[in-house]
Structure 1
C-alpha cells in the first residue's frame, strides 16, 4: 500500500490512502499496535488522521510507524491479520434492530430496479463495517463488500430527519443519531441509542466496528 503523509500541526499527521478499503486496512494495522504517545486515530473516506503527543511520540517516529504499517497492509486494502489485541474489527458485531418502513424504501428499490423485499433482504444479509464517523456526532458511515448498490442522495434534502432513521447514500448506510437535516434516502428506523455523551465511548458505532441489522416490526408496502 502506498500512502502520502502530510504534516497537520505539531501533533498530527494526515495519511492519504488510495481508497476506502485501504483506509480500513491501514486503520486496523495502526490500531493493532498503538505506540506510547498515540492520542487518536481518525479515519475518513480517503485519509487517516494520526494524532499524537509529540513529547512522547515525535512526529518523525510516528511517520516511520505509519509507513511500516502501510507496508504490511495489502495493496488492495484487504484486511490483514492483526495482533492478538481485541479490536472492534475482531469483536462481535453490533446488532441493531431495524423496522424497514422508511419513507424512501419503495422508491429506492424502484430506483435500483429491484423489489422492496430484495432490497431489505440484501441489506439484512450484508455484514457492515464502520468506515468512519462524520456529518454529526455519532453518525457512522457503514460500508460492506456484500452491498453492490450505489444510491444517489435526494435532490432536495429534508429539513428534519428523525433520530434513529436508517438511510442510504452512495455506497454507504447510515443511521441518524439525533434529529437533523439530511439528504440520504430513508429505508427504516432503529430505536437504538447511537450517541450518549455520558457513555464511554459516546458513539455506539466506532470506526472499524462490524455491524449487522436485524429486522423488527413490519414493513409498509413490502412486496412478496
Structure 2
C-alpha cells in the first residue's frame, strides 16, 4: 500500500508525508507512487511536490484549503491521506530503463584503483558490478540535477572520502556509502570517482533541464575513451 506511515505539518504552506526510513527502495517506490497520484489528481493550490528518499513534501497555497474549523494543512492532509490509500502500482517495464554511458578508470575515474583495493576486488570486478545493477533515481539534490541512485551492489558500498575534493569534474560517476551518483557539473564533493559520463545531466537551455528525472530507472554502460570523446563532442 501507498499509505504514509506518518504525516506532519511544516508551517503554514507545507505538509510532509513519511513512507519509511533511510535508503529503502520500497519506501522510495511509495514516495514516487504517491507523487504520481497527487499530480494526476490536480488538487487545487498544490504548488510543488518535493520527493526525498522516504518522504514527500507537498507545498501548497493555504488560501485554497482554508475553511471550517481546521487549519489549511489539516484539510489538505486529510485529502492526501484518502487519495494515496491505494495499492502500490506495478513496477515500470524494463523498456523504460535509461542508459548512461560511462568511461571507467584512468583520468575519468581517478579513484577506481583505490576503491578496488579497499574493497578487495579487481578494477574489472568493480566496473562489472557497477554496470550490472539497475538503479532508481531516488531524489535530486545537493546541486540541481544531481541524482541520488539506489540499487548499488552491497559489495561496492564504501564510506565517503576522508578529504573531499574542492573540484569534481562534471559528469563524474561516484560511490558514496550505499549510493552511487553523477555530478551534473563541476562541484566540490567527497564521493569516490570511478568513472565519467559524457552526457550533460543538467542544462538550463533544455526543457526540462534535467536529463534524468526523479523515479527513473538507470543502467550504466561501460565505454572506452574514444567513445567518450565522440559522445562528449556530440553533446557539447
Q: TM-score range by the shorter chain?
A: 0.7 to 0.9
Q: CA deviation at 1:180?
A: 1.0
Alignment of 1:91-110 (within 5 A): 92-101=96-105, 102-110=109-117
Structure with bigger helix share is 2
Q: Which residue of 2 aligns with 1:190?
A: 197
Taking structure 1 as reference, are residues 199 and 4 closer, same or farther at Cα in structure 2, changes over 3 Å only? Answer: same
2:146 is the counterpart of 1:132 = no
Q: Which residue of 2 aligns with 1:172?
A: 179
Q: Which residue of 2 aligns with 1:147?
A: 153
Q: Distance in 1 between matches of 2:64 and 2:97?
A: 34
- Structure 1 range deviating more: 109-118 or 179-188: 109-118
Contact kept? 2:133, 2:153, Cα under 8 Å: yes
Q: Which residue of 1 aligns with 2:6?
A: 4
Secondary structure at 2:161 match in 1? coil
Cα deviations by residue, 1:167-191 (Å, 9 ceiling, x for unpaired): 0001111111111111000000011
Cα deviations by residue, 1:40-71 (Å, 9 ceiling, x for unpaired): 22122332211233444553343134434665
Give TM-score scaled by structure 2 length: 0.78
Alignment of 1:155-170 (within 5 A): 155-170=162-177
Taking structure 1 as reference, are residues 18 and 31 closer, same or farther at Cα in structure 2, changes over 3 Å only? Answer: closer
Contact kept? 2:19, 2:31, Cα under 8 Å: no
Q: Distance in 2 between matches of 1:68 and 1:147?
A: 36
2:63 is the counterpart of 1:59 = no
Q: Distance in 2 between matches of 1:92 and 1:201?
A: 18
Cα deviations by residue, 1:97-149 (Å, 9 ceiling, x for unpaired): 110021111111121222211111111111111001111111110011x6223
Name the structure, 1 or 2, with higher relative contact order (CA <8 Å, separation 6+). Answer: 1
Number of residue pairs matched by the alignment: 207
Q: Specify the structure having the higher radius of gyration (Cα).
A: 2
Q: Distance in 2 between matches of 1:2 and 1:175?
A: 29
Secondary structure at 1:33 match in 2? helix
Q: Which runs of 5+ in 1 are unaligned?
A: 74-79, 219-224
Cα deviations by residue, 1:80-102 (Å, 9 ceiling, x for unpaired): 325xxxx9x55722211110021
Q: Distance in 1 between matches of 2:120 and 2:141?
A: 29
Aligned equivalent of 2:215, options 193, 208, 211? 208
Q: Distance in 1 between matches of 2:89 and 2:4?
A: 19
Q: Distance in 1 between matches of 2:111 and 2:81?
A: 43
Contact kept? 2:28, 2:54, Cα under 8 Å: no
Q: Distance in 1 between matches of 2:36 and 2:190?
A: 35
2:53 is the counterpart of 1:49 = no
